[in-house]
Chain A
Amino acid sequence: MDTTQLLKGVLDLAVLAVLRDEDGYGYDILRRLRVAGLEEVGDASVYGTLRRLFGAGLLTTYVVPSESGPHRKYYSLNAAGRDQLTRSGKTWRSFATTMDRLLDDRGMAA
């Protein structure tokens, strides 16, 4: 099964999750996702997701000037974003549990 298809559904949640403890800028968020194991995630997908979450009012941004490189736009979760993370997290857990059980019942190896 193509992971990118799965990613589409959960990228929002993944992005919200990696921003839960620490604000980050675009490339930094991409790196965190890849370090966490989502290696196939594309830059455009992360950027697009950030734009959409920002547009939906779940994220706030601020710019940090840099001495050496370009200015960086940091994203951080606001209250709505944290709510969304909690709800989406629960949905995912329940969905994942359901899927796990479904596969377990039919003797599929993990």
Chain B
Amino acid sequence: MTVTGQEITDYVGRVRAALADLPPALRDELTEDLPEHLAEVAAEGDGSLVQRLGEPEVYAAELRAAAGAGERAAGSRSLESRIATVVGQARGRLARVDARLGPLLGYASAGEFLRLLRPAWWVLRGYLAALLLGVLSSNGHVSVLPRLGHSVVAGVVLLVASVLGSIWLGRNTGMLKRWSRLVMHAATGVLVVFGTVVLVQADERANWDSPYGYDTVSVGNPYEQVQDVYVYDSEGQLVENARLFDQNGTPIRLGWPACDDPALPEVNPVQRGYPYCPEQAPFRPRPPVAVPAVPGGAPTPGAPTHTATPTADPTTGAAPTTGAAPTEPATGATPTPGAPAAGDPAPTAPPRTR
């Protein structure tokens, strides 16, 4: 028997839809035996019901005439029957597309191919149902293996039961009553939406987890906050128009000319040397006070500025660490002022006035 219960159900549904303009009692009387009758027809030979009996709408017209139920009144067709006509036409069109797509897949019709995939869908549906129950029982936590109240074992039992149940439902859909079938279809719709959401979420999470995403390069870059670069020579002198290069000769660009007067003609910052804003140099070789104010976040104070402060504050002199942070990227291109300048107890360079 090549005709399934579902096919009979669909066929009867379309016949009933085509008879929608009849009084409900008469329509029920005419079609109450139809499923059994079609099952007999189906048992007698091969081919689909449509192949053997014609389109359900034609069948309905013939049935209507034979049963003496009266011709369909063309002018006063009910909304329901007009919808049925549209649905019937759409189905016909779908059937043609179905037949045309089939050969591309290597089957007589796309539907034939999709029917082969039905059991796979049943299994997937069971899995999704178990997953949904698992998510509901664990406060929205989604895991690949469903968990029932955080228990994997219970989750697996649920999964097996759910998949078996879904397969059983799939095989026995034709036996279900009309309303239970509606409930099943509605639940299936919910599962499809749920499955889509889970898939999208899993996809997003997978993208986040990839360790070397394009954007992560700048994360943790210590020079992110650098706005300008000040180079000091071994004498504690601020070097102007310094250019920084890396080991490959590639210019190192840090910061931006934030202090430029907007009225001046613009110069391509790439072609300019550091510092962009010499007036804002953090360390000034000027005599007045011992330790100049250091802007927040600037490196260890002191070292290069000792040039102009013979009063030699012992604490700063004792911690001459580097003072090289602003010029660190300059290695290779300019001398590092930090170490030698800090080690020099009495810098002699004259203060530069600017």
- On whether A26 and B63 interact (CB within 8 A), knowing A43-B53, A47-B34, A52-B68, the answer reads no
Contact of A42 among B1, B62, B64, B69 (CB under 8 A): B62
Return chain B residues, CB-CB under 8 Å to A49. Answer: 66-67
Q: Are A11 and B39 in contact (CB under 8 A)?
A: no
Q: Could you tell me the distance in whole angstroms from the C-beta of B289 to the nearest C-beta in chain A?
A: 106
Return chain B residues, CB-CB under 8 Å to A26. Answer: 33, 37, 40-41
Q: Which of A70-78, A79-87, A91-99, A100-108 contacts B (4 or more CB under 8 A)?
A: A70-78
Determine the distance from Cα of A22 to Cα of B41 in the docked complex, in whole angstroms.
19
Return chain B residues, CB-CB under 8 Å to A45. Answer: 62-63, 65-66
Return chain B residues, CB-CB under 8 Å to A44. Answer: 53, 58-63, 66
Q: Are B40 and A27 in contact (CB under 8 A)?
A: yes
Q: Could you tell me the distance in whole angstroms from the C-beta of B54 to the nearest C-beta in chain A?
A: 8
Please give the number of chain B residues whose Cβ is less than 8 angstroms from any Cβ of chain A in the complex.
Answer: 28
- Interface presence of B30 (CB below 8 A): yes
Q: Are A51 and B67 in contact (CB under 8 A)?
A: yes
Q: Are B41 and A51 in contact (CB under 8 A)?
A: no
Q: Are B36 and A70 in contact (CB under 8 A)?
A: yes
Q: Could you tell me the distance in whole angstroms from the C-beta of A33 to the nearest C-beta in chain B?
A: 12
Return chain A residues, CB-CB under 8 Å to B29. Answer: 51, 55
- Interface presence of B43 (CB below 8 A): yes
Determine the distance from Cα of A90 to Cα of B312 in the docked complex, in whole angstroms.
140
Contact of A73 among B30, B33, B54, B59 (CB under 8 A): B33
Determine the distance from Cα of A55 to Cα of B33 in the docked complex, in whole angstroms.
12
Q: Could you tell me the distance in whole angstroms from the C-beta of B44 to the nearest C-beta in chain A?
A: 5
- On whether A47 and B43 interact (CB within 8 A), knowing A70-B36, A73-B37, the answer reads no
- On whether A52 and B67 interact (CB within 8 A), knowing A43-B53, A73-B33, the answer reads yes
List residues of A whose CB falls within 8 A of some B CB. 8, 11, 25-27, 42-49, 51-52, 55, 69-73
